Amino acid sequence: MTDQGLVSSQLGSLHYEPALESSSLARLKPSYGLFIDGSFSDPGQHENLVTLNPATGETLATVAQGSVDDVDRAVKAARRAYENVWGKMSGAQRSKYLFRIARIIQERARELAVVETLDNGKPIRESRDIDIPLAAAYFFYYAGWADKLEHAGFGPDPQPVGVAGQIIPWNFPLLMAAWKLAPALAAGNTCVLKPAETTPLSALILAEILQQAGLPEGVVNIVTGDGSTGSALVEHPGVDKIAFTGSTDVGRLIQQRVASTPKRLTLELGGKGANIVFEDAPIDEMIEGIIDGIFFNQGHVCCAGSRLLVQESVAEEVLRRLVRRVEQLRVGDPLDKNTDVGAINSAEQLSRIEELVAVGEGEGATRYSSSCALPSKGFWFAPTVFSNVAQSHRIARDEIFGPVLSVLTFRTPEEVVAKANNTKYGLACGVWSEKGSRTLWVAERLRAGVIWANTYNRFDPTSPFGGMRESGFGREGGRHGLEAYLNV
Amino acid sequence: MSTAPLRLVPAQERGVRIPSNESVPSIDSEAQLRSVLASLSGVDAVGLEGRAAKLATRSIKRSTKAAAIDLAISMVDLTTLEGADTPGRVSSLCAKAMRPDPLDLGVPSVAAVCVYPDLVAHASSELDGSSVAVAAVATAFPSGRASLQMKLLDVHEALAAGADEIDMVIDRGAFLSGRIGQVFDEIVAVKEACGEKHLKVILETGELVTYDHVRRASWIAMLAGADFIKTSTGKVSVSATPPTALVMLEAVRDFAETTGRLVGVKLAGGIRNSKDAIRYLVIVNETAGSIWLRPSLFRFGASSLLNDLLMQRLKQQRGAYVRADEFSGD
C-alpha cells in the first residue's frame, strides 16, 4: 500500500483462524441456589436473578437473589462455624484446607477459566493465564501463613476477628474471592461472601470446590444477589468485619452504615491511575505497559493506568506508536484464544463508558478509537485513546472503568508529580524511565498505594495492594493483608 | 519550540510507515556512530521477555497453521556447517532444498543452502537453474578472529565460487571492548566486497548477552549496509531466542521507518520444530508486519527444522502423524 511516499507494513496481517476454547467445559447448571452451611439451597425456594454472557447477551444460568433472611442464615452459620470449629482449629489444620482448595482450583483451572470468561466477558487468555492461576496462588500463599501468624509481626498471639462479610466486584470474580477468602480463613475467621450481581458463577463453582476440599460446614457461605443482598450483609449485627471491593460511591455508603458500629472495615475502591512516561523510558516495553495498563480486562480494573502522563518531548512519538499498537489489538469473541480485548461486562457499564466518552468529546479532547469490527450482539466498546486532554476534563478526573485512555503531557518531574497526585483517588501509578534515581524520586512523592516501575498491572500474592484517599483503606495481599483479619 | 497540540495519526499511517525513498545516514566517524547508538531507547529485559512470552500464547490452527508451515519452509536456509561436510552430503542437501518432499510437488523450495566457502562451487552447480540460493559463511566463521584481509579473502573466494549470499560474523571482541568503529568498518568493507550480493551480518547474540547490546549491534550492522541481520552462528550455546528475535525485529522496523531501507532478519540455531518456527512468524507478524513475512526479508537458518515442518504439513493434510523415517535425513 503506497500513500504519499510511504509504504505501509501492516501489523497483524496474518489472519489467525479462530481458536475457540470449548464453552461446554464450563458444565454450568441451569440454576444455582445459595451456598450456606456447607450445602446449596434449592434454587426453587428463592427469587432468581439471571446472569448473562456479556459477549452474546444470552442467559448462562439463574442464581438466587439472597434475601435478608438468607443473609441472616449465612451469618449465623458462619458464627457457629467460627465458635465451634474454625476459630478453635490449629493453624496447621487450617492451612491443610487452604492448600487443598488451592490444588483443586489448579485441577479445575480450565473449567474455571471458561466459566469466568463466559460470565465476565474477559478474554480466555487472561482468565487462563492470570485470573485462575493467581487465585490459586493467593490460596497457596495464605495457606503458608495460617500456622505462622505469631511470626507475622502482629504480636505473640494474634486472634481472628470473627465473622467477615465480604462483598466483591465483577471485574475479577474468582480472583477477588480468593483475595478476600484466603487471608480471612488463614487468620481463623469465617466468611459470608457476596459475589457481584453480574458475575456470580465462578464463586458458585468455588463453593463446589470448598465442598470437594471438605471445608467444615459454615466456614464459607456464599450468598448471591444484587445490591440489597450486600446491604443486608453490611447491616447484619452478627458481622464483625466488612471487606468491600467496588465503586467509591458504594464504598462511601458502606462506610456511613458501618460508622457507629463496632464493625471493622476495609475498602478497596476506584482509581484513576497515572502511568508516567519519561523521555528515556524503554519505548517498546513502555508501549506494551501502557496497553496492559489500560486495556487489560477491557479497562475494568480499579488500578488501571487510565491517565497517561507523557513527557512532552516524546509525546508525538509515544502517541503514534500507541495508536498503532491499539489498532493491532484483537477485539472479539472472549473464548477465542487469540482475543486481546473482550466484552464489556454489562449494558449498564457500557452506557457509563459511552456517556463519559461523549463527555470527553464534548470537552474538546481528540478521540481515536480502534477501527476493529465489533460483534453485533452483546456489549462492546472499541479501545479508545483521547489526546489533547486537560487536567480539568472529566475524562482526566472520573473513573471510566473501561477501555479508554486519557493522554496528558508534562515537562518536569515536579510537574508530573503534581499532576499525578491531583486526583481524589490514590490507588496505583506507573513510572517508566531507565533512570532509577528519578523513578525513586517520583515514586516517593506519588500518593498512591501501589507504584509500578517499568511495568503495570502486575499482581503477586506476596505484595500488598490497596489505596489511599478515595481509593479506600486497608491492604490485601502479603503479610499486610493478614492485618485486616486479625485483632491486633 | 512548537507548542502545537498533539494530533493523532491518520488511519492509513497506522502500520509500520516506511518512506519510499531510502536515506540511510552516512556514518563518517566513530563519534557519530556512538551518538546514533546513544539515541536508541534502552530495552527493559523483563518487559521484553514478557512480551515475547505473551506472543508465544497465540494459538495458530488449521488454515493459518497450514499457510504458516509453507511460508516457513520457503524461509529455510538449509544449513550444514560441519568439519565433516563433504560434496556428497552437500549434494543430498541441495536435492532436499530444491524439492523438500519428492512426493508432493506443492511443497515450496527452501530459500537457500548454507555451507562453508569451500563447498560453494559444488552447491552452486547442484542448485544451478533452481530458485534456491547458495549462502556461504565467511569472514573466519564462526569466531571472526582473523585480520580483515583474511576475512575479505574468505568473502572473495566464496563469491568467486558462486555464492549468492554471504553470512559474515561481526568481531564480538571489538564490540564488547567498545571498538564499535572497527565493527562498523569491517561490515562496510565486506558489503563493498559483496556488491549486489546479499550480506547477512551475524551478531552472535549469545556472546553479546544483553538485549541493549543486541539492539546496538543491530543498528551498527544496518547502518553499515547489512541486507540481513542474523542472530547466531549456531556454534555457541545460546542461539536464537524469542526475545532476541523481538529486539531485532523492532530494530529493522524502526530502521525502516527512519531510513526507508528494509533489512531482513535471520534466526539461526536451535530452531528445531514447527511450533517454534510458527511462534517466530507470529512475532514477525505483530512486530514488523506484512512486508517481512517473505523469504526475502525473513529466514530460518536450520537443518532439522525442515523435516518437522514437512511432518506437520502432512499431519495437517492427513489428520495423523507419519513416521519420521518417511522423510529423508538430509
CA distance A284 to A290: 10
At residue B21, φ and ψ (nearest 5 deg) are -100, 130
- The whole-angstrom distance between B123's CA and the closest CA on chain A is 34
- Residues for chain B: how many in total? 330
**Cβ atoms B289, B16 nearer than 8 A:** yes
Q: A353 near A324, Cβ under 8 Å?
A: no
pLDDT at B2: 35
Please give, rounded to a whole number of angstroms, the shortest distance from the CA of B138 to a CA of chain A.
32
Q: Which residue of B1, B2, B3, B9 is the best one to mutate when testing the A interface, meaning the one whose CB has the most A CBs within 10 A?
A: B9
- The answer, yes or no, to whether residue A343 has pLDDT greater than 90, is yes
Assess B41–A contact: CB distance below 8 Å, yes or no: yes
Q: Determine the residue of chain B that is closest to A323 in CA distance.
A: B14
Confidence (pTM): 0.96
Q: Which residue of A has its CA nearest to B261?
A: A7
Q: Contacts of residue B251 in chain A, CB cutoff 8 Å?
A: none
Q: Scanning every residue of chain A, which has its alpha carbon at the shortest distance from the alpha carbon of B67?
A: A14
Distance of CA B132 to the CA centre of its chain: 16
Q: What is the pLDDT of residues A148-161, one digit of tens each?
A: 999 999 999 999 99
Predicted confidence (pLDDT) per residue in B82-134, tens digit? 999 999 999 999 999 999 999 999 999 999 999 999 999 999 999 999 999 99
For CA atoms A469, A470, A471, A473, the dihedral sign is positive
For residue A7, give the nearest of B18, B41, B282 by CB distance: B18
CA distances, A415 to each of A409, A421, B227 (Å): 10, 10, 45
Mutation target among A284, A405, A408 for the B interface, most CBs of B within 10 A? A284
- Block means of pLDDT (10 residues each) for chain B, 330 residues, are 42 78 95 97 98 98 96 98 97 97 95 98 98 97 97 98 98 98 98 97 98 98 98 96 98 97 97 97 97 98 96 94 86
**Are A324 and B9 contacting, i.e. CB atoms less than 8 angstroms apart?**
yes
How many CB pairs below 8 A link A and B? 147
CA dihedral B39, B40, B42, B43 (to 10 degrees): 180
> Per the residue annotation, which of A21, A116, A302, A483 is the catalytic one?
A302
**Cell reading at B177:** 571492548
A157 CB within 8 Å of a chain B CB: no
pLDDT digits (tens, 9 = 90+) for A40-98: 999 999 999 999 999 999 999 999 999 999 999 999 999 999 999 999 999 999 999 99
Domains of chain B in sequence order: 40-317 (3.20.20.70)
pLDDT at A7: 84
Q: Contact B60/A16, CB-based, under 8 Å?
A: yes
Q: Map residue A73 onto helix, strand or coil.
A: helix
What number is the ipTM of this complex? Answer: 0.95
- The partner residue sitting opposite A14, judged by closest CB among B20, B64, B256, is B64
CA–CA distance, A87 with A304 (Å, rounded to integer):
37
Nearest-CA residue of chain A relative to B246? Answer: A284
Give the whole-angstrom CA distance, residue A312 versus residue A316: 8
Task: Give me the torsion for CA of A97, A99, A104, A106, rounded to 10°.
Answer: 160
The pLDDT score that the predictor gives to residue A8 is: 87
User: What's residue B3's pLDDT?
Assistant: 36
How much is the pLDDT for A116? 98
Rounded to 5°, the CA angle A34-A38-A42 comes to 35
pLDDT in tens, A258-312: 999 999 999 999 999 999 999 999 999 999 999 999 999 999 999 999 999 999 9
pLDDT of residue B11: 53
CB–CB of B289 and A1 under 8 A?
no
Residue A285 near chain B (CB below 8 Å): yes
What whole-number distance in Å separates Cα of residue A466 and Cα of residue A459?
A: 12
Would you call B13 an interface residue with chain A, using a CB distance cutoff of 8 Å? yes
Place of cell 558462486: B162
Distance CA A237, CA A214 (A): 28
Q: How much of chain A, in percent, has pLDDT values that exceed 90?
A: 97
CB within 8 Å: A19 and B15 = no
Q: Is A434 in Cβ contact with B7 (below 8 Å)?
A: no
Active site residue A83: no
CA-to-CA dists, residue B112 to B89, B109, B291, angstroms: 15, 9, 20
User: Strands, DSSP E only, in A130-269?
Assistant: 159-160, 163-167, 190-194, 220-222, 241-245, 264-268
H or E stretch covering A333: none
Q: Assign A4 a pLDDT band (cuts: 50, 70, 90).
A: low
Report the distance separating Cα A110 and Cα A202, nearest Å.
Answer: 12
B58 touches chain A (CB under 8 A): yes
Do the Cβ atoms of B289 and A289 come within 8 Å?
no
pLDDT of residue B1: 34
- In sequence order, what E strands does A94-228 have? 159-160, 163-167, 190-194, 220-222
Q: Do B6 and A9 touch (CB under 8 A)?
A: no
Q: What is the pLDDT of residue A2?
A: 44
Centre a 10 Å sphere on the Cβ of residue A391 and count the other Cβ atoms it contains.
15
pLDDT-derived band of residue A13, with 50, 70 and 90 as boundaries?
confident
Q: A 9-68 residues with CB below 8 A of B?
A: 9-17, 19
Nearest-by-Cβ selection for A316 from B6, B14, B253:
B6
